[in-house]
Chains A and B, each alone.
Chain A
Amino acid sequence: MKRIALAGMVSALLTGAALSQPVVAETYDPLFTAAPNAPRATQGLLLGAEKIGQNFVVVGDYGTILIGSPASEWQQSNVPTSILLTSVSVIDDNYMWAAGHQGVLLQSTNGGEDWRMVLDGHELLELEYSWLQEKEAELAAAIEDTEDEYEREELEYALDELSFQMGGAEIQFEVGPTKPLLDVHFFNRDVGMAVGAFGTILRTTDGGASWQVANDAIDNVIGYHINKLVAGPNDSLILIGEAGLLARSDDMGETFEMLDSPYHGSLFGALFDDNGGLWVYGLRGNVFVAEDGYNFTPVDVDTRYNLNGGVALADGRIVLVGHAGVMAVIEPDTMQVNVFNHPSGSPISDIQQGIGNEVILLGRAGLQTFALPATGQ
């Protein structure tokens, strides 16, 4: 007995000694650190939301994902990253996706309670690099094949350009993932897309098991940021971005058609109204509407603030929100525009319709509700 006790003591002493060795702290990396449980999660920076049944799923900074509604409590989900999440896409009551900075794509299959990381920025860098390698091989083969001197020169120029990009990508491996994904949209459980900075387009057809880089699906050689994907009727999709970037797809994002942009500044959002009219809006209060087809006309909204988000209300009105708490309520029939500022004066990123005239605002001041004036007032 004594011997055992002694042995126990010795081992305890040894363990104690081992523990007292200076421990080299692991470098904190928000990308792979679970989101902190935050009592004030609804007051942090929140960027995007979608409806899920009676509730909403809201995403924002520090890996925050909240499920709930203003009428109920907001529950924070279990999220494996603390990175800024920019958008969320709900497929059905169980399946949903979220995108964020540093190439993060998250998936939940249990109604948003738990999330797993499907893609991170390191993997995104690999994907992009192998995509560039494929392109390089294609180009090299094309140069080999071509007879035409002029075409060869063009291809060689493109190859030069590509090796420059590959050099950049190699440097990026050293720095680490920096690229934010700015929006995600899933058509169904299998097919989905994510877009982001510097023209990044990713697409999956197997529910996220594999991802394809599709940056060249649109004409965006310069690599303008892609800000938003907006689903329209009949699986159509509108893609908008920096410098008036505007494209549409009718085949769930496999191919895109570039549209004539009404604006050369950045577009931050787009929405379809009840009549199928397409609204696009963005920098400095610029708003355009295409009632049918894609012939846009400007809408005179009296603000110089950026418009970041919008919603078509059940009663047909359009509400656009933006910086300095600006809110523009538009009656589509009369094109009457009512512009005012939310009392917080704080930038708003997104808006969702709540019950009746209540809207839910997301932005720098967190989650706020606001009662809109009733129709015609």
Chain B
Amino acid sequence: MQDSNKANPPKANGQVETYGKASFAENMLFRYRMFWVVVFAAITAFLLYHAAQVRPDASLQKMIPANHEFVQNYFKYGDDLSALGNAIRVSVETTEGDIFDPEYQDLLRQVTDELSFLNGVNRSGMRSIWTPNVRWSEVTEDGFVGGPVIPQNYDGSEESLAQLRQNILRSGTVGDLVANNFRSALIYVPLNEIDPETGEALDYHQFSQRIESEIRNKFESENINIQVVGFAKVVGDLIDGALLVGVFFIIAMVITFGMLFWYSRCLRSSAVVLLCSVIAVIWQLGIIKLIGSGINPYSMLVPFLVFAIGVSHGVQIINAVVANHADGANKIDASRLAFRGLYIAGLTALVSDAVGFTTLMVIDIAVIKELAIAASIGVAVIVLTNLGLLPILTSYLGVSKGGVAYMKRVQGEDHPIFQLFDRFTQRKWAFGAVGVAVLMSIWGVYQAQNLQIGDLDSGAPELRADSRYNLDNAFQVANYSASTDIFVVMAETAPGECIAYENLALIDRFQWHMENVPGVQAVRSIVYVSKLGMAGTNEGNLKWSSVNRDNFIINASISQAPSGLINNDCSMAPIIIYLNDHKADTLNRVVDEVRGFSEQYPSDSVNFLLAAGNSGIEAATNVVIEDAQFRMLVWVYGVVIVLCFITFRSIRTVLCIVLPLMFTTIMSQALMSMLGIGVKVATLPVIALGVGIGVDYGIYIYSKMREALNKGENLTESYLFALSKTGKAVGFTGLTLAIGVATWIWSPIKFQADMGLLLTFMFIWNMLGALILIPALACLFKVGPKQQTKPTT
């Protein structure tokens, strides 16, 4: 489909019209060349202005399957649950001695104060041993006594520190606000998603940066470490990491430029291809900004793909232009003919890419949909920039003499590697290649059995295991009695009924049911507090730790309950389930047990709604991913098969092109399984992208091969012809695409690294698969020369 310039080489200038008729598009483009340059420049300037305003955004809502039942339930009670969820936990660790030190306590007070001044912090909900809402209490012969944990007359003296130690011990905050080893203390900082004064949404990135500059940098010293854990920090670190992607982009550009030059030996045309591809990226970013869509850490992949696809198509144009020059055409005619020979083919390939990307829309998660939209826009833009603008620019600039000379030299060269690949058209080699592929596929399918759904690493799986955040998280998990994998079930009742005895009794049983599920560490709810309160109001006697049938007594028992365990109109009580991990098995088990309980104890008054908390949302995401995994494969392969069939009208051809792609899909799943990469929001689209772009190789090669077959050449000859025409281009495209995404492997964001690794693997494997398996399969399927057209010898 590409590189067809050789079929009708221009002989002399001014005779362009004799080599095929100029299309309307070609005439429009080349008659008003200057006009289009000005228009492209104006649009580029306009879109650059908008593209420059694109900021990475990592909104939670976009990363989760918003239409899934769990998430809908979570949204329904999102405001009520906010008191539980969105908070950061700042621990201040001393490496010398323990926390009962006047200087340490002074520092802890300062950190607490400083945190309360940060925008977005819900000051009244903050808890640390220095906030007045953290109290101790004790039963005496005369009833309850209690007070703030920090002694009223605290002065840093030995006595007041001893008093503080005693207050901490009887306040029950060890493991909560004070580390089990007394070497660090923790400040719990709830955040307001929406600033109550300005009504503006919290800027997580800014908040995270202020934590760094105003807390960590200011207070950390030789013997003081500060650990910060919480969703806001994850998002902040994600955006920081995402900004590094800009650097990767520059690296990818430099390497690509080097490859372009190596390929064309022409500085001028290399620069033009690079320029047009960068313009495509600018347009893509500008347009997504204009349509109100954002860029997120997932869709950041798109500019890389757009750039790489742009370059690979630009190379085809340049290749043709240089070849036309080599054949003696002038600047304008060389570009015109290049355009004429390629625009249909390029358009078809790009349309198939775009359609492939849109199949990602079956995954009902906003970030993936954004990625699909961004990628489709990007590919559409390439049609304009690299098929439209690029030939116009070359018609002005021409190509360097060196490039033309190089082209003349290598034209028709029969590369030894081509000879090697051509052997796969022979039966023996074909059997060998297909046999190996089948064996590897069997092994791959076996490996892929262990493929996990969801994230597997502990802590924040978005970030690397050795990232500062995950180290901080590990510190807090080790020193405090807290799990960061939280699954919330919402017990929904009629308004005002959430603490009625019958409902509490059922929630109590539910709590115990869940506490007995493997993988569950602990369960907390209003019932837990009520039972503690019952013992508390009865002199701490454990024998009273039971929900009382009398609603007046229940009310008294929960008078000290922390906020968030029932909602305002008492129609919902969250049940917080702390998990060992967030592996898909654990989450599935929890979901099944919740549903099983509801079946076993049907109730008209309590509805146990799934699910909130990071693990609840993750469970929903896993369900959507697992469900979409199969559908997406069906769609993407369906589209590819249909497109191939429309183009080639032959089942055998479709098999020759599609089977190597399937082989790549199986092998990439095996790779994921081996590397412990789960199927998740980040990696699922990669498979569709790999197939969508991977099919291009097959189309390029097969279309050239068919050209020769139609002329009556045998398979071996035809494949060698295809290789000489497109082999280099396929190799170049594969490497350009791979390099574009390979830089991601060094991203501090774990899922970006996973995406980069998988895409690199898929692009290269697809390329090799196409070069080796297409001829082999063609041989086995007995694809031969078209008899009718074969000239008699």
What is A's interface to B at a CB cutoff of 8 Å? 23-25, 27-30, 33, 36, 38-40, 43-45, 47, 61-62, 82-84, 86-87, 101-102, 175-178, 180, 182, 225, 227, 242, 264-266, 268, 283-284, 304, 306, 308, 323-324, 345, 347, 349, 363-364
Contacts and interface: CB of A to CB of B under 8 A. Distances in A.
A180 B546 contact: yes
A28 B509 contact: yes
Given A323-B540, A345-B174, 19 more contacts: A23-B602, A25-B602, A27-B603, A28-B509, A30-B509, A36-B516, A39-B518, A43-B515, A61-B545, A84-B545, A84-B546, A178-B549, A227-B541, A265-B140, A266-B539, A304-B138, A306-B539, A324-B169, A347-B542
Contacts of B508: 30
A25 B141 contact: no
Q: Which of A83, A84, A178 has the most CB of B within 10 A?
A: A84
Contact of A180 (B502, B515, B543): B543
Contact of B539 (A23, A178, A283, A349): A283
B515 A44 contact: yes
A283 B139 contact: yes
A105 to B, nearest CB: 15
Q: Which of A39, A43, A264, A323 has the most CB of B within 10 A?
A: A323
B604 A24 contact: yes
A27 B504 CA distance: 12
A57 B153 CA distance: 50
A38 B523 CA distance: 15
5 contacts: A27-B502, A87-B543, A180-B546, A283-B139, A283-B140
B601 interface: yes
A38 B604 CA distance: 25
Contact of A36 (B509, B544, B546, B548): B509
Contact of A178 (B141, B540, B543, B553): B553
Given A25-B602, A27-B605, A36 B512 contact: yes
Contact of B541 (A25, A175, A264, A306): A306
B542 A363 contact: yes
Contacts of B542: 45, 47, 308, 347, 349, 363-364
Nearest to B605: A27
Interface in B383-399: none
B734 to A, nearest CB: 54
Interface residues of B, number: 36
B506 interface: yes
Nearest to B510: A28
A219 to B, nearest CB: 20
Contacts of A308: 541-542
B118 interface: no
B72 to A, nearest CB: 23
Contacts of B545: 45, 61, 84, 364
Contacts, number: 101
Nearest to B174: A345
B512 A86 contact: no
Nearest 5 Cβ contacts at the A-B interface: A265-B141, A84-B546, A25-B602, A28-B506, A86-B543
A97 B333 CA distance: 104
Given A306-B541, A349-B543, A175 B549 contact: yes
A264 B540 contact: no
Contacts of A86: 543
Contact of A101 (B140, B546, B601, B603): B546
Contacts of B506: 28
B479 to A, nearest CB: 15
Contacts of B602: 23, 25
Interface in B584-628: 601-605
Nearest to A324: B169
Chief secondary structure at chain A's binding surface: loop
A345 B182 CA distance: 14
B603 A178 contact: no
Contacts of B549: 102, 175-178
Q: Which of B174, B501, B512, B602 has the most CB of A within 10 A?
A: B512
A23 B545 CA distance: 33
A212 to B, nearest CB: 23
B550 interface: yes
A36 B170 CA distance: 34
B437 interface: no
Nearest to B541: A268
Interface in B532-559: 538-546, 548-550, 553
Q: Which of B538, B546, B548 has the most CB of A within 10 A?
A: B546
B513 interface: yes
Nearest to B604: A25
Nearest to A62: B512
Contacts of B544: 180
Contacts of A306: 139, 539-541
B107 interface: no
A368 to B, nearest CB: 14
A82 B600 CA distance: 15
Contacts of B546: 61, 83-84, 101, 180
Contacts of A87: 543
Contacts of B482: none
B465 interface: no
Given A83-B546, A306-B139, A30 B505 contact: yes
Contacts of B603: 25, 27-28
B553 A36 contact: no
Contacts of A44: 512, 515
B543 A47 contact: yes
A28 B512 contact: no
B512 A38 contact: yes
B208 to A, nearest CB: 35
B495 to A, nearest CB: 19
B398 to A, nearest CB: 79
B558 to A, nearest CB: 16
Given A39-B516, A283-B539, A363-B542, A62 B509 contact: yes
Interface string B473-517: 000000000000000000000000000011001101100110110
Q: Which of A29, A62, A83 has the most CB of B within 10 A?
A: A62
Nearest to A171: B550
A74 to B, nearest CB: 14
Contacts of A102: 549
A84 B515 CA distance: 16
A306 B540 CA distance: 8
A296 to B, nearest CB: 16
Contacts of A84: 543, 545-546
Contact of B505 (A29, A264, A283): A29
Contacts of B553: 178
A283 B141 contact: yes
Contact of B516 (A23, A24, A27, A40): A40
B34 to A, nearest CB: 75
Contacts of A227: 541, 543
A238 B508 CA distance: 35
B91 to A, nearest CB: 19
Contacts of A265: 140-141
Nearest to A46: B542
A218 to B, nearest CB: 19
Given A27-B605, A102-B549, A264-B141, A61 B539 contact: no
A366 to B, nearest CB: 11
A360 to B, nearest CB: 16
B512 A61 contact: yes
Contacts of B601: 28
B314 to A, nearest CB: 64
Nearest to A82: B509
A178 B549 CA distance: 6
A38 B510 CA distance: 12
A102 B544 CA distance: 11
Contacts of B169: 324
Q: Which of B170, B508, B515, B543 has the most CB of A within 10 A?
A: B543
Contacts of A101: 546
A39 B508 CA distance: 17
